[in-house]
Structure 1
Amino acid sequence: MSKNKISKGLGAGASNNNKSIDESVVLNSIDLFAGIGGIRLGFEQAFGDRIKTVYASEWDANAVKTYEMNFKDDFEIAGDITEINEKEIPSFDICLAGFPCQAFSLAGRRLGFDDDYKGMARGTLFFDVARICEYHKPKVIFCENVKGLTSHDKGKTFKIILGTLNELGYTVFHKVLNSKDFGVPQNRERIYIVAFRNDIAPKIFNLPEKTNDSVVLSDIIEDKIVSVKYYLSNQYLDTLRKHRARHEAKGNGFGYEVRNHNSIAGAIVCGGMGRERNLIIDDRLEDYTPVTHIKGEVNREGIRKMTPREWARLQGFPEDYKLELADVHLYKQLGNSVTVPVIRAIAEKIREVLE
């Protein structure tokens, strides 16, 4: 169960592109809705030392902690993007913006531009990206979101986003890509948008095709025995089974799922919920003494949740990426993040154009 199959060569700043941008040119980038830096990491892997992050914004305090553990910057991470004055952002060439997905997700209420959560109008945050880019006119705007963005409100929402980028003076390319085709065992479809400023835009820009769909769960499962805390209690497992049976009786497909080691995971989701949809069997546990408060006993079937590190591998994060917060935060951060190898593959295509 070697992890080399997915992590080899994925260190921050790595690049297998032999061509080089003029060494006197370093492209400045900003990282909006930065999360834990997945998009930035993919671009750094593609561009190497030809890219420098000069600004980042993220409003979730725990995500900021993980971000700062892994990226050493000489600036403080800004908070709420709606309160940021675009004139105070340093000049930049590339805008990275994985604006929040919940407003358009099939898993949510799909309120789109009408979505409001704790006073944060998640559905309108794209227009803050537009506001900032209208002022700075970067060479490239890169956005990532859930596949549901393309069909939300019968396609009107997506049309508004593309039209806004066009009005700002950009030629837009987009494509839905699945993470399982890029060297990670996760069925995760996302829409990727690449907008080039018109004066440098290519007539044709092909987003990447499949690179590797051979990786399965056994390639990312921990080599060592994991803590008993990841194993479900027999009572909780029984509750899940009854819950699924009730839904199946109504013709619904909702419920827990135990994944075969030779298969792939379902999408890990925004907010970190749904861990029970990606359970695995791991019969290596020797000590069944609980280390947390549970009802009943630890199940003897070997059924457990995947660990945060395994989730990080599902997203293609390198092994040296620091995950030091409590599990509850890490699951949320990783579920909200992006699949790094997909970002890298797109960034390499962007680099070819900028060269």
Structure 2
Amino acid sequence: MMTVLDLCSGIGGFRLGLELAGHKCVGYCDNDKAAVRSYRAMYNTEGEWYGDDVTKLKPGDIPRADIWCFGFPCQDVSCANANRRGLAGERSGIYYSIINLVKGKDEEDKPTYLLIENVKNLLHIHDGRDFAEVLAELDEAGYDAIWQVLNSKDFGVPQSRERVFIIANLRSRGRREILPVAGENGNALKQIVAGMQGYRVYDPSGVSATVTNAGGGLDKGAGLYLVRPVIGINRPGKRQNGRLFKNPDEPMFTLTGQDTHGVAIANPDFRIRRLTPKECWRLQGFPDELFEKARTVNPESQLRKQAGNAVTVNVAYAIAKTLPEAHN
């Protein structure tokens, strides 16, 4: 078992994946008050360290942990943002704040691993110069880094969500091979983690397993003939890959904090309905019992946003299972 510090914690996608793999979270940090409300309702955080703004912390403020995990803000990197400033942006520039905290630690107090997540465009923005800067900062902090683009649909959730994951290993403790992490065919039936309720096995037909969880289907027991993922109902100019609809056998569009995601249903009439917050959380691998806890402290609008900003639990779990134990 290794100890974990959950920075830019959101609703704890990294945390849950790491805990399911047997590790223990000792602290968390996020300045989104609504996300913190959900986080505290979902997990037993009593006695854990908490920071409310990573940009104001000093190295001595942070407890020692074997793993620091963080999905730093992607707004300045994402293709959905027309004004992409990259790491020079105020939000995505939080990366520097976190790495400076690592640099300020004594060698024996640095984490053995840094687990970092962001949008795939981090690899390409500004012709790759920003990603080179990410790697240079890690090198200066004393870390060797490897990275891989992973798609959530290959890890048991019916959502196409490509993210780059960087695993950095403290050089003074020896380099260990971790990536690549191999997912499975996104169309295969599979169970990823025992004990995660409500979505252990997924139907191969995209999101239909999620939206038909109520007995008898959605139309008074008549069942469903066709379900197609839909995006951009409220932002037609911001569609992913220029598409509004996917085919019935494709996974859901990537969840975001801005777009309206839904499904087009033919049974027998054609209609579009929005995904419920619970369905959005399921698409990110969160069990229903944790969603129900978060629902007691936040409105639906916040729950949807939190799902769109989260790290997919199943992917975090798969990475965590590859980590050798830290040895100081």
Name the TM tier (shorter chain). 0.7 to 0.9
Task: Note the residue ranges of structure 1 that are not aligned, 5 or more in a row.
Answer: 1-25, 116-120, 228-236, 285-299
**How is 1:177-256 mapped onto 2 (pairs within 5 angstroms)?**
177-202=150-175, 204-214=177-187, 215=204, 216-224=206-214, 254=242, 256=244
**How is 1:72-111 mapped onto 2 (pairs within 5 angstroms)?**
72-73=44-45, 74-75=47-48, 77-108=50-81, 109-111=83-85
Find 2:265's aligned residue among 259, 281, 294: 281
Q: Which residue of 2 aligns with 1:67?
A: 39
What SS is found at the alignment partner of 1:321?
Answer: helix
- Pair 1:175–1:83, CA change in 2 (3 A): same
Q: How far does residue 330 in structure 1 lie from its aligned partner after superposition? A: 0.8
Whether 1:33 and 2:8 are equivalent positions in the alignment is yes
Identical counterparts, % of pairs: 33
Q: How far does residue 29 in structure 1 lie from its aligned partner after superposition? A: 1.4
Distance 1:194 1:87 in 2: 24
What SS is found at the alignment partner of 1:208?
Answer: coil
Distance 2:218 2:326 in 1: 45
- Pair 1:263–1:123, CA change in 2 (3 A): closer
Distance 2:173 2:242 in 1: 47
Distance 1:343 1:128 in 2: 23
Distance 2:327 2:183 in 1: 22
Q: Which residue of 1 aligns with 2:26?
A: 54
Distance 1:354 1:45 in 2: 21
Q: Which residue of 2 aligns with 1:113?
A: 87
> TM-score, structure 2 length as denominator?
0.79
Distance 1:253 1:139 in 2: 38
Find 1:173's aligned residue among 138, 143, 146: 146
Indicate conservation of the 8 Å contact 1:207/1:349, yes or no. no
What SS is found at the alignment partner of 2:60?
Answer: helix
Task: Name whichever structure is richer in strand by fraction.
Answer: 2
Q: Which residue of 2 aligns with 1:297?
A: none
- Say which one has the larger Rg: 1
Q: Which residue of 2 aligns with 1:320?
A: 289
- Pair 1:202–1:267, CA change in 2 (3 A): same
Q: Which residue of 1 aligns with 2:195?
A: none
- Pair 1:180–1:266, CA change in 2 (3 A): same
Distance 2:67 2:176 in 1: 19
What SS is found at the alignment partner of 2:173?
Answer: coil
Name the count of aligned residue pairs: 286
Distance 1:332 1:205 in 2: 31
Distance 1:55 1:84 in 2: 14
> TM-score, structure 1 length as denominator?
0.74
Distance 2:74 2:50 in 1: 21
Distance 2:326 2:27 in 1: 23
Amino acid aligned to 1:181: D
Distance 2:77 2:277 in 1: 25
Find 1:130's aligned residue among 88, 94, 99: 99
What SS is found at the alignment partner of 1:126?
Answer: helix
- Pair 1:335–1:226, CA change in 2 (3 A): farther
* Superposition RMSD in Å: 2.8
Task: Note the residue ranges of structure 2 that are not aligned, 5 or more in a row.
Answer: 188-203, 220-229
Distance 1:345 1:195 in 2: 16
**How is 1:303-314 mapped onto 2 (pairs within 5 angstroms)?**
303-314=272-283
Q: How far does residue 75 in structure 1 lie from its aligned partner after superposition? A: 3.3
Q: How far does residue 150 in structure 1 lie from its aligned partner after superposition? A: 0.5
Distance 2:73 2:34 in 1: 16
Amino acid aligned to 1:220: T
Distance 1:266 1:175 in 2: 20
Whether 1:266 and 2:239 are equivalent positions in the alignment is no
Amino acid aligned to 2:168: A
- Pair 1:39–1:282, CA change in 2 (3 A): farther
Indicate conservation of the 8 Å contact 2:26/2:49, yes or no. no
Distance 1:353 1:179 in 2: 27
